[in-house]
Amino acid sequence: GESVGLHLPTLSVQEGDNSIINCAYSNSASDYFIWYKQESGKGPQFIIDIRSNMDKRQGQRVTVLLNKTVKHLSLQIAATQPGDSAVYFCAEKTYNDDMRFGAGTRLTVKP
């Protein structure tokens, strides 16, 4: 039969602008969350993580925000660069369970 592909949300930003990528997670018991970046032809690359006892964590040019009330996770990328163009996945995890990935968001940075 016909295969139905995942509809990847897309985000297009201008170089130098800030990007915000959103993710809704499914399990209220999840206590660990990770953002991965996947470039074409490569495996996912760890960007930043956050545990459920925090609501914000900052890295280099990236910030992750966690809102447990509405089960929402976001990744903010400051001063987006062409090299940031990729598919971004959020992942959620509970202890003793496997990591579950979202469908991903394709970020395109226009020069």
Partner 1 sequence: KAGVTQTPRYLIKTRGQQVTLSCSPISGHRSVSWYQQTPGQGLQFLFEYFSETQRNKGNFPGRFSGRQFSNSRSEMNVSTLELGDSALYLCASSLEYQSGEAFFGQGTRLTVV
Q: Among 104, 105, 107, 109, which residue interacts with partner 1 (rule: CB under 8 A)?
A: 104
Residue 38 is inside which H or E element, if any?
A: strand 32-38
Q: How many CA atoms lie within 13 A of 22 on its CB side?
A: 6
Phi, then psi, of 55 in degrees rounded to 5: -120, -5
From 10-18, 57-65, 71-79, 95-103, give the range in contact with partner 1 by CB under 8 A: 95-103
Say whether residue 44 binds partner 1 (CB under 8 A).
yes
Say whether residue 37 binds partner 1 (CB under 8 A).
no
Binding-site size, partner 1 (CB under 8 A): 26
Could you tell me the smallest distance in angstroms from the CB atom of residue 111 to partner 1? 27
With a CB cutoff of 8 Å and minimum separation 6, the contacts of 60 are none
- Put residue 55 in one of left, alpha, beta given phi > 0 → left and psi -120 to 50 → alpha: alpha
From 12-20, 42-50, 57-65, 74-82, give the range in contact with partner 1 by CB under 8 A: 42-50
Helix, strand and coil content of the chain, in percent to the nearest 5, comes to 5, 50, 45
Say whether residue 107 binds partner 1 (CB under 8 A).
no
Say whether residue 34 binds partner 1 (CB under 8 A).
yes
The footprint of partner 1 (CB under 8 A) covers: 3-6, 32, 34, 36, 41-46, 49, 89, 93, 95-104
